[in-house]
Structure 1
């Protein structure tokens, strides 16, 4: 007689299969194993971690530490699923300060390899050893071992040949391990770390207890050039602390291969943080170059959720807007004054990121920290024709409207400057201002002009070389941005409103963020559930496609919660205007004019780069010059 009840289709998976599925989430390749084992060692308070691998980690991964060790009773629990010493209660899940906490790493690793754990607790008479093979753990047995723990992972994926086939060559897997160890070493300078491959030492990093030692470690891990061409940042506001090294824009890279961000000591890859940093550098990089940085962000663990991804690389902030604005403002502010401009106080995070209508405070030409913003209702009527009048027509014949080079007394286009060498006809005090005594400014005093293109100046360190067109280009550009920021973005009505089909959510955003659009000179009017009308556009962008501009901005807001399309487009127009308004090459300048330009450079934000990201000046110290001429060798 047939059963009236069909066989059940839902059944529990075997524990070994469960472990292998979990391993598939967190164990991708040998470097994933190294990450889990080293993070466990760091959580155990290790002050030294030694990593040995063979065959790129396919044959052997051994991690030895001097941490607190594991006792006999805890050894079997360490390879049990969801068993951990990091958290005990639900509340602790919202205040995670350790690198690991799920209790899945060791059982997942053991399910796809042969695992051996040997450990000795501090003060114990001897150590203990436990082996796991085919998912079965042996009983702990006594074993000699120093205080700390050693984990050996052999024959990775030997039980899952299909996954082993997906591993790359030994060299490729080793490169992944190297990069992983490099990232971990940068986040824990107080831990000595070594790495060897096939018996050969690849890294030997001693403990770094002060900033100089940390910089030496960074130089070894990232290259001396990065440390030499970076600035140190340390700032704190609104319960957030940020510090680390920002690569100068002139030291940008062809690919995004030197970008490291750590959150409370945890290495992360976060879209929000990456976008904020990209925005901070956006106005300073040449073409498709990428910035370099090593940054450390500290925040109350209760304000961030690290339990959103099995690998723990991704996080979710309770207040992402605050974190975004804090990063953008602090990094933008630091870079503004990296090229010689006078320093200003750090700024506090605010709701809106720096933009033409809401700039970050600056030492000169901007707003001091805590100063009130200019009222937005009094917008400047700045159509293109009037804006061009700010700097003249860009030719040599009309300089009356151009922003002056400075407060020098020499004529801007006098016959003396065109007829003879720079400085001819000026007093000795103008030619050699150093003889008058007093403090030498950062960019020094002008000596001469070279081929009508470069200014040669002398300061206490040696020789300063300035590309006068590039430098003046940045000065004019920053002035134009300040003028637009102080008086608002002028908008221009369209003769016929442009109808733009959108999604219902984008239509909602057009209504919800109407004030943001208005501040940028863009007026959007909702005409239906999935239709908007563009009625006004920024006057400086009168040639842009209104429909495309609106769609792009709304798409950014929907995906990222913010948009920089309008700001970037406005900045592009202002940069072009600044380029045309800058002093041209082959124009002769007097000594007073050159010194005036140097002083303006020292008061201008972002002066290290022109509007296109090229360097505006460089320095040759006396040591550099001595090496060139082999003096003292």
Structure 2
């Protein structure tokens, strides 16, 4: 090997740029974060050729003093921290002091700035092998303008990895969108090749925030979003989460901010995924824009050079707070929330049963029945017998006519009243807004499933001893975790004991999981305990079994219903949690408004 020597400043900065500057979007992120840290309330961004040829960012922040301009272009120079203890309560977006030096080593960078105390502006740029900073006067109002030209002009090996102009600008635009969502009090203006792409004024209230949200994420997101704002244990969560029916094929509309910083964190992602667990179609991803606010001293943002990852001092508390907040929000969604109609007291209509047709156990009202596992199995046997019968013709009772609909009638329930049954699969109903179509099986499946979960929660999880206890070989860390988590195992209906330095024995399991893969289940739960401080795998497996039972115990296709039975199902849907989706995440009903119907038939055109 050759002799050890110091790297020259330019080469050292170019190496550091490998962590900070990946593409034009990386430059924009660093420079915009500096503008926001400087207190800017307006940021103007001009880009050419996807950001490769030119990136110019101008802000009205506090500016940089003339004497500090050379330092601003140096490595490890920052105004945001002074000592190690400051890292424990970082509130600024940037603080490493590497961005400007790294960018200037791989592009032509000039910085012009002025403070409100200075009589004129000054401009700094770095030149030569040793990156000597040169300062000269330049007219400029209070604030800063950073201009970067010809990215990677001196590192062609890295420039060849850049994508097309369209792709690079797409990444750059996404950075601007995310920062625009992080700071509603700041105006953002973006131009690409002299064409205005975004012009976002400040948003001072929720209405203006939602207007910006609609322009950044699209109006469809806002139309399907629920607003949340909750606080507990020094944590505050607010923002918007989309209904499960507005799921995505990829995780491209997931924005989470911690104290204004956009992050991607496994613990938070797990909590959100857990909240959506039994309302999201398999393979789909939820959409959300959420903000978590907490004391900066209990979160470490100095985990990764890009600062996308964080570490919480009490991760379990944060995880449970996010999960419970979103789980409760999604559970409370009712049809009246979605059709924006007044909720009324539910009245069960009398049901007339057609000859040779057994009644269906729909129940109106808010209360949920308490049923045991034995009763569930008895119901399943009854449903199996019911499905074996041939469909009988429907009997529409004349004694219980459908109420006359009046658009101004405040007594109309959210899902309205049944008109007919289509092909034995759908209910057609009329409400104050127009036509409601309900998937009978999917809706009844959710109702049955929620009743089963309510019974499970009220009676606790029943467990049974294993005929032959199972011994597992684990690591010493896993064994210690299991020993410390015995109470959590007990809450899940399991008894797991430590019998050696690297050995566990499983003595009890939930009744419904008697035929599961015990070893894999215990290992998965232990993995969750060590990573997230909790686990929902046991309940997830139990819920999967209950969902299957509910599916088999629900109304099947071609089952003819009477009008009272259909109306009873609609009332049950209005009183049941998560009734907008079946157990597999599919929608259970859709609303077709009168204006939509008019368009179909070209009325008024």
Aligned pair partner of 2:464 in 477, 480, 492: 492
Matched residue, 2:51: 57
Matched residue, 1:24: 18
Matched residue, 2:487: 515
Does residue 609 of the first structure (1) align with residue 581 of the second (2)? yes
Aligned pair partner of 2:399 in 426, 446, 466: 426
Tell me by how many angstroms 1:233 deviates: 1.4
Q: Bigger CA drift: 163-172 or 294-303?
A: 163-172
Matched residue, 1:566: 538
Distance of aligned partners of 1:489 and 1:72 in 2 relative to their CA distance in 1, 3 Å threshold: same
Aligned pair partner of 1:108 in 90, 102, 105: 102
Matched residue, 1:388: 377
Output one character per residue of 1:492-535: Cα deviation in whole Å (capped at 9) or x when no partner.
22222223222222222222212222222222233332222222
Matched residue, 2:511: 539
Q: Aligned with 1:151: secondary structure?
A: strand
Output one character per residue of 1:58-94: Cα deviation in whole Å (capped at 9) or x when no partner.
2222111122222212212211222222233444332
Tell me by how many angstroms 1:397 deviates: 2.6
Matched residue, 1:35: 29
Tell me by how many angstroms 1:170 deviates: 3.0
Distance of aligned partners of 1:435 and 1:126 in 2 relative to their CA distance in 1, 3 Å threshold: closer
Tell me by how many angstroms 1:455 deviates: 1.8
Tell me, which stretches of 5 or more residues in structure 2 are unaligned?
Answer: 339-364
Matched residue, 1:67: 61
Tell me by how many angstroms 1:587 deviates: 2.1
Q: What CA distance in whole angstroms lies between the structure 1 residues aligned with 2:210 and 2:410?
A: 34
Q: Aligned with 1:140: secondary structure?
A: strand
Does residue 528 of the first structure (1) align with residue 523 of the second (2)? no
Q: What CA distance in whole angstroms lies between the structure 2 residues aligned with 1:119 and 1:589?
A: 75
Matched residue, 2:434: 462
Matched residue, 2:173: 178
Mapping of 1:337-486 within 5 angstroms? 337-340=332-335, 382=373, 387-395=376-384, 397=386, 418-421=392-395, 423-428=396-401, 430-432=402-404, 439-486=411-458
Matched residue, 1:206: 201
Whether contact under 8 Å (1:341, 1:604) holds in the other structure is no
Tell me by how many angstroms 1:608 deviates: 0.7
Tell me by how many angstroms 1:580 deviates: 1.3
Tell me by how many angstroms 1:391 deviates: 4.4
Matched residue, 2:186: 191
Does residue 336 of the first structure (1) align with residue 331 of the second (2)? yes
Mapping of 1:138-177 within 5 angstroms? 138-177=133-172
Tell me by how many angstroms 1:364 deviates: 5.1
Q: Aligned with 1:139: secondary structure?
A: strand
Q: What CA distance in whole angstroms lies between the structure 1 residues aligned with 2:219 and 2:252?
A: 15
Tell me by how many angstroms 1:206 deviates: 2.5
Matched residue, 1:620: 592
Q: Aligned with 2:583: secondary structure?
A: coil
Distance of aligned partners of 1:289 and 1:555 in 2 relative to their CA distance in 1, 3 Å threshold: same
Q: What CA distance in whole angstroms lies between the structure 1 residues aligned with 2:588 and 2:286?
A: 18
Matched residue, 2:274: 279
Q: Bigger CA drift: 163-172 or 589-598?
A: 163-172
Matched residue, 2:559: 587
Whether contact under 8 Å (2:387, 2:556) holds in the other structure is no
Matched residue, 1:251: 246
Tell me by how many angstroms 1:431 deviates: 4.9
Output one character per residue of 1:12-52: Cα deviation in whole Å (capped at 9) or x when no partner.
54433433333222222221111010111111122221222
Whether contact under 8 Å (1:364, 1:603) holds in the other structure is yes
Q: What CA distance in whole angstroms lies between the structure 1 residues aligned with 2:380 and 2:227?
A: 36
Tell me by how many angstroms 1:341 deviates: 7.2
Q: What CA distance in whole angstroms lies between the structure 2 residues aligned with 1:513 and 1:365?
A: 35
Mapping of 1:297-316 within 5 angstroms? 297-316=292-311
Distance of aligned partners of 1:366 and 1:25 in 2 relative to their CA distance in 1, 3 Å threshold: farther
Q: TM-score, normalised by structure 2?
A: 0.89
Q: TM-score, normalised by structure 1?
A: 0.85
Q: What CA distance in whole angstroms lies between the structure 1 residues aligned with 2:367 and 2:317?
A: 26
Whether contact under 8 Å (1:208, 1:217) holds in the other structure is yes
Output one character per residue of 1:393-433: Cα deviation in whole Å (capped at 9) or x when no partner.
4325389xxxxxxxxxxxxx9x9x94445x333333x5548
Tell me by how many angstroms 1:597 deviates: 1.5
Tell me by how many angstroms 1:256 deviates: 0.9
Q: What CA distance in whole angstroms lies between the structure 1 residues aligned with 2:277 and 2:521?
A: 19
Q: Aligned with 2:145: secondary structure?
A: strand
Tell me by how many angstroms 1:249 deviates: 0.6
Does residue 555 of the first structure (1) align with residue 544 of the second (2)? no
Tell me, which stretches of 5 or more residues in structure 1 are unaligned?
Answer: 1-6, 344-362, 368-373, 375-379, 400-412
Whether contact under 8 Å (2:368, 2:451) holds in the other structure is no
Q: What CA distance in whole angstroms lies between the structure 2 residues aligned with 1:276 and 1:493?
A: 31
Matched residue, 1:317: 312
Output one character per residue of 1:186-209: Cα deviation in whole Å (capped at 9) or x when no partner.
112222222223333332223333
Q: What CA distance in whole angstroms lies between the structure 1 residues aligned with 2:2 and 2:249?
A: 58
Mapping of 1:72-83 within 5 angstroms? 72-83=66-77
